[in-house]
Amino acid sequence: MKDTKVIELEEVSIRFSGDSGDGMQLTGTLFSDATALFGNDISTFPDYPSEIRAPQGTVGGVSGFQVQFGHKEVNTPGDDAHVLIAMNPAAVKANARFIRPGGTIIYDVDSFSQKNLDKAKFSTQDPFAELNLEDYEKIPVPITSLTRESLKDFGMDNKSVLRSKNMFALGFICWMFGRPMDYIENFIKTKFAKKPVVVESNLKVLHSGYNYGMNMQHMTPRYLVDAAAIEKGTYRNINGNQATAWGFLAAAEKAGRNLFLGSYPITPATDVLTALAARRDLGVKTFQAEDEIAGICTAIGAAFAGDLAVTSTSGPGLALKSEALGLSVMAELPLVVVNVQRGGPSTGLPTKTEQSDLLQTLYGRNGESPVVVIAASTPSDCFYYAYLACKIALERMVPVVLLTDGFLGNGSEPWRIPAMSELPEIKPRIAKDSSSFKAYKRDAETLAREWAFPGMAGFQHRIGGLEKNVEGAVSHDPENHQENCAIREEKVQKVVGMLPELEVFGDEDGGDVLVVSWGGTYGHTVSAVRELRKDGKNVSLAHFNFIKPLPANTREVFSKYKKIVVCELNLGQFVAYLRDRVPGFEYHQVNKLKGLPFTVTELKENIEKLLED
């Protein structure tokens, strides 16, 4: 089974480490060989202690094996490891300096006993803090106890059982990086041909480790690759959900409003709530509601009261929020909804990624209920699109839905940290003149109404879900309703004036094929287009971050290409929208619904087919 979540890795390095008796060299070698056979270029670096049997559990006794592999030429074993596998505390200590900032540490949590901490000479109960590894991704795995559990029917002695721990770690890593295990299985079968019990037990533990990884995959980080020549600056690793949360925080600070998040836990969006709940220090009010509906309703209440109000969710939660989202359309309050999309329908594939909530987001409400829809394209740019969603909501008094997905939300990448001064101003439309204030009086240009909240003397007014006239009084007047429906739609369309034009990666003046994608598939579509262009193919990419309204030059861009192919992780939702909004073109489609991102290979194959036709 190949896990396509990591297919985009250009290069990754892994360091296996443990006691010299833990079999780390064998583990590392087996993994490297399996990887080489899998078709990757590799480079390895065994690093073992000079003593064959240094005292168990001590730093001096740590044995390591580092391998770097990638689908391009790999010339070094990598300066720092992306992933460290540590079988005991000493291994963490010995290798702390070899891990990339923000890297991942998978460790045998069972071995972190007081005895082993002492042996490794840790002075506190928190070895990671002692080594300044707080912000590293740490995955505790009960390797010893799970190995023991896995072998309980084999009647083996304790020592032999513990000797199999490395196979558990190996199985886990094979899952994590999508390595096929047949090479390893064959090796074990051949090497221990005369000891059937050893073969059986090792295979059993190997598969237990693999299956554990599969079952716990929501914990597993994914790596995207840094661009080759990167900008100067200070960098950090960030995942999409954290970036989204921080984008909201940045917008609140810039706009001078308090941030309120009403939310209900849901995979894979929960980490947005978690990240903001941690930020009471910056005055954030997170409200863990009794359900999705209360999540958005408390946010609407907070928006009415003058906060920058946000609610976070995933597909099924958006369905529950739809009536209240319609209320925010009618009440014309600034509200941001982030939908970290997952596989649907219904409960679907909660931990998997998909783009199948687009039509729900655009149309899934009663009545004519337009909202602004934008989508982030990489884990780190979730920060900017979250920020922008808030800017649009606050300046245009309109609900904005930000679409990310499980792949972006859980995926992480290195990110150049921006200074707050790099971000554009946010000017909420707070009412200033009470004598001229009317609840639904609009700016002539943008059609946005003004924001006045309880506590502002002289601005008392009523809003609600019923159709209103300009004063905010209930109106059943037919002409008024038709006019307001048009205005609410027009107000959303006017947001286009705040947005950049659609950019083309490739031949801006036109060509054979234009690949169209949106949201979280960017990394894969841009890689596919880049590789095809290297092969001399006339292919360009137009990637959409703005769905509603569409960029002003969309039609103009489309008209320059002979063929347009829309690639998305659903059965054709964006393409349906384009056929409606930008008619007159023949749109080809590449669709995938496996709960997995595209692979570059399958994209290339599909596009090449189109070039040949």
Residues 250-309 binding another protein (CB under 8 A) are 250, 253, 258, 260, 262, 279-283, 285, 287, 289-291, 293-294, 297-307, 309
User: In whole angstroms, how far apart are CA 167 and each of 7, 28, 82, 462, 534?
Assistant: 24, 11, 20, 67, 41
Pick from 136, 518, 544, 598 the residue near another protein by CB under 8 A.
136
Which part of the chain contacts another protein (CB under 8 A), choosing from 112-120, 190-198, 226-234, 340-348? 226-234
**Least distance CB 287 / another protein (angstroms):** 6
* Span 529-548, contacts to another protein by CB under 8 A: 545
364 binds another protein, rule: CB under 8 A: no
Q: Would the CA dihedral through 144, 145, 146, 151 be positive or negative? A: positive
Spatial CB neighbours of 114, under 8 Å, sequence gap ≥ 6? none
**Residue 466 sits in the site that holds another protein (CB under 8 A):** yes
Specify the residue, 308 or 358, whose C-beta has the smaller distance to another protein: 308
Q: Which of 193, 474, 486, 571 binds another protein (CB under 8 A)?
A: 474
Q: How far is the CB of 247 from another protein (least distance, A)?
A: 10
Q: Contacting another protein (CB under 8 A), which of 55, 196, 233, 367?
A: 233
Nearer to another protein, 308 or 575 (CB): 308
313 is written with which tokens?
Answer: 């969710």
Q: Which of residues 308-347 bind another protein (CB under 8 A)?
A: 309, 323-324, 327, 331
Candidates 157, 194, 229, 586; binder of another protein (CB under 8 A) is: 229
Residue number, 193 or 474, with CB nearest to another protein: 474
* DSSP at 496: G
* Subset of 73-132 contacting another protein (CB under 8 A): 101-102, 132
Contact 393, 336 (CB under 8 A): yes
Contact stretch for another protein (CB under 8 A) within 27-35, 43-51, 415-423, 530-538: 415-423
- Residue closer to another protein, measured from CB, 125 or 460: 460
Contact pattern from residue 476 through residue 505 relative to another protein, giving x for each residue in contact according to CB under 8 A and a dash for the rest: ----------------------xxx--x--
Q: Does 367 bind another protein (CB under 8 A)?
A: no
Gap between the Cα atoms of 187 and 177, Å rounded: 19
Q: How far is the CB of 104 from another protein (least distance, A)?
A: 12
Closest CA to 100 of 84, 120, 117: 84
By residue count, the chain amounts to: 613
Strands 308-313 and 335-341 turn out to be parallel
Among 73, 134, 479, 612, binds another protein (CB under 8 A): 134
User: Which ranges in 336-416 belong to alpha helices (H)?
Assistant: 358-363, 382-396, 406-410
Q: How far is the CB of 521 from another protein (least distance, A)?
A: 16
* Residues 12-51, interacting with another protein (CB under 8 A): none
CA 171 to chain centroid: 25
* Closer to another protein by Cβ: residue 131 or 566: 131
Binding characters for another protein, 388-407, by CB under 8 A (x = yes): x--x----------------
Return d(Cα 551, Cα 382) in angstroms, integer.
19
Alpha-carbon distance of 417 to 406, in angstroms, equals 23
**Piece of 45-53, 104-112, 246-254, 605-613 that binds another protein (CB under 8 A):** 246-254
Query: Using a CB cutoff of 8 Å and minimum separation of 24, what contacts does 181-190 make?
Result: 181/34, 181/206, 181/207, 181/210, 183/30, 183/33, 183/34, 183/37, 184/30, 184/31, 184/34, 187/30, 187/33
d(CA 39, CA 42): 9
| Cβ at position 296, least distance to another protein in Å | 9
Closest to another protein by CB, 183 or 235: 235
Q: What angle do CA 549, 554, 555 make, to 5 degrees?
A: 120
The residue from 381, 413, 450, 568 that contacts another protein (CB under 8 A) is 381
Mark residue 283 as left, alpha or beta (left: phi above 0; alpha: psi -120 to 50; beta: remaining).
left
Query: Which stretch in 357-365, 412-420, 530-538, 602-610 sits in contact with another protein by CB under 8 A?
Result: 412-420
Q: How far apart are CA 124 and CA 128, in angstroms?
A: 10
Q: Which of 317, 518, 519 shows the shortest CA–CA distance to 411?
A: 519
Which of 196, 367 has the CB closer to another protein?
Answer: 367
Judged by beta carbon, residue 257 or residue 352, the one nearer another protein is 257
Residue 17 contacts residue 49 (beta carbons within 8 Å): no
Q: Which of residues 418-457 bind another protein (CB under 8 A)?
A: 418-420, 422-424, 453-457
H or E segment to which residue 42 belongs: strand 41-47
By C-beta, is 16 or 304 nearer to another protein? 304
